[in-house]
Amino acid sequence: MPALYRPVVLAVDDDPQVLRAVRRDLNRAYRDRYRVLASTSPDEALRLMDELKERAEEPALFLVDQRMPGMTGVELLKESLTRFPSARRVLLTAYADTQVAIDAINAVRLDYYLVKPWEPPEERLYPVLDGLLEDWRLTHRPPYDGIQIVGQRFAPATHRLRDFLTRHQQPFRFVDAEADADPLTLPTVVLPDGTRLSRPGPAELAEVLRLSGESERQPYYDVVIVGGGPAGLAAAVYSSSEGLSTLLLDEYAPGGQAGMSSRIENYLGFPGGLSGSELTHRAVAQARRFGAALLSPVSAVSLRRAGRARAIALSDGREVIAGAVLVATGLSYRRLDAEGAAAFEGAGIYYGAAVAETSTCAGRHVWIVGGGNSAGQAALHLARHAKQVTVLVRAGSLGETMSHYLVEEIEAAENIDVCSGTGLVAVEGDGRLRRIKLRDLATGEVTVADAEFVFVFIGASPRTDWLGDAVRRDRHGFILTGPDLGPAPGLPGWDLPREPLLLETSVPGVFAAGDVRAGSMKRIAAGVGEGAMATALIHRYRAGS
């Protein structure tokens, strides 16, 4: 962020002695990057918030005591939510108030609670706040004079550029093009030095902005990982940390479907939840720290044997040789089977959370198709910005397909409603989405509703077409591994005197992990576990066992 820009950290406590200690500790660690403000009353804190909003200043974090006269800390944080929804929130509590704090995690999007006293701050305060402030920094867009995208708001090509830069956590400003702008030059990317790129593709943009990763590639790696979702990133961390030369490839941007998730609330160790982009950023930084090479947007197009090694042909025309390969390409969202839907992809119909469109949805009516956890997380995220969110579910109720905690939060949200037993059958518009047709699956009755934004979460298919016949797959395209392959003597081309290892495919030395593997749990934590397990199995393969 610019050197002169210092976001606010606001501490609130009615006990002057405690507040002095809080302010002292905050200033000691953060005054070079943040402006620390303190208030002795909730009313004064609300006035400060209003002044910050008038001056277009953005608080990064609120640290609020629970027990205060006139208004509790939870009540104050609830008020702050309407003013600054993206700020991080920490509650200071006594031991007796811990249940109140746990309840507030959902009620006010509480990120953390600290039980007083917090000394020593180096052990009990700073590690917590460091993580929260870093998370806030990753998702916040400070005053910025860098990259601009000039385009038509509902043009698919514009959406793709916005989504690409958002997934790569690259700050940019979107400028809605004038009505008389030349559509043949849009979208245009304007760089800080004035350079203008007309209708650039992801590969060109990644090269210009140096987002693609390693510019020089080794001819051989101990491990090549295809796919940068949770499984692939976990494998990159573990294999590189254990001294294996590691290359991770991703055809678009690291993170996979998990990287598109607006909020992950059931991941171990993050009681306040975290976004997919935050999880991805941490994992990428960790993998690079251990020496892993990351390359994107580059996709694998084929796999072949090269003696005891394996060769992967890439979309840029080159080939990379690996001692072992991990396929972690994950899933692609299934397309909406509704009349006219293909014409509005990126122009009102979006697959996945499409975080790049969050600001566009502010104050609007948003429709979500799907009843799984990804749909529920997106509904709760978008409800913080949209005027109304409607979830369309083919099942009889959300509880049939969605985790209980998400169902409870959706039911408690005032601006989310659920239409169960309903299918979306057709869409209409004039270059951008305008209307949708809904069918009651019980009665067959069709109704029409105005709609500008539809986010689709209706299941997914494995990304395995690039493999051809190289490895065995089930009838749905998922990769078979380990015992699911059957006895080794019956495997064509299997030339080792042992059975395939647990995550090993029908080709020795080629492994699969995460959602792309047949029988996997299709959960982020499970993918991370399989990625770590794959590294151990690759060691066994390399050792000849």
Least confident of 91-100, 338-347, 407-416, 499-508: 91-100
CATH 3.30.470.20 fits 148-200, yes or no: no
Q: Express each pLDDT in 469-480 by its tens digit.
A: 999 999 999 999
Report, as an integer, the average pLDDT of 360-376: 92
Least confident of 253-267, 293-307, 420-434, 467-481: 253-267
Q: Which residue has the higher pLDDT, 179 or 316?
A: 316
Edge-first strand order for the sheet with 188-190 is 173-176, 148-151, 188-190, 196-198
Report, as an integer, the average pLDDT of 493-510: 94
pTM, rounded to two decimals: 0.76
pLDDT value at 172 more than 70 = yes
Q: What distance in Å separates the CA atoms of residue 505 and residue 485, rounded to the nearest whole number? A: 8
Q: Which residue has the higher pLDDT, 420 or 116?
A: 420
| Per-domain residue ranges of the chain | 8-139, 148-200, 220-332+461-542, 341-458
pLDDT value at 354 more than 80 = no
Average pLDDT over the chain, rounded to whole? 90
Q: What distance in Å separates the CA atoms of residue 108 and residue 493, rounded to the nearest whole number? A: 58
Least confident of 108-112, 235-239, 451-455, 534-538: 108-112
Report, as an integer, the average pLDDT of 372-398: 92
Highest mean pLDDT among 45-59, 179-193, 292-306: 292-306
Burial of 278 (0-12, 13-18, 19+ CB in 10 A): buried
Same fold, 8-139 and 220-332+461-542: no
Highest mean pLDDT among 82-86, 92-96, 338-342: 338-342
Q: What distance in Å separates the CA atoms of residue 233 and residue 279, rounded to the nearest whole number? A: 10
pLDDT value at 415 more than 90 = yes
pLDDT band at 329 (very low <50, low <70, confident <90, very high): very high
In order, the DSSP letters of 251-319 are SS-TTHHHHT-S-B-SSTT-TT-B-HHHHHHHHHHHHHHTT-EEE-S--EEEEEEETTEEEEEETTS-E
Would you state the pLDDT for residue 235? 98
Q: State which fold the 220-332+461-542 domain adopts.
A: FAD/NAD(P)-binding domain (3.50.50)
Q: Which CATH number fits domain 341-458: 3.40.50.620, 3.30.70.20, 3.30.70.580, 3.50.50.60?
A: 3.50.50.60
pLDDT value at 2 more than 70 = no
Query: Rounded to whole angstroms, what are the CA distances from 404 to 278, 346, 408, 523?
Result: 24, 31, 6, 16
Report, as an integer, the average pLDDT of 129-156: 82
CATH 3.40.50.2300 fits 8-139, yes or no: yes
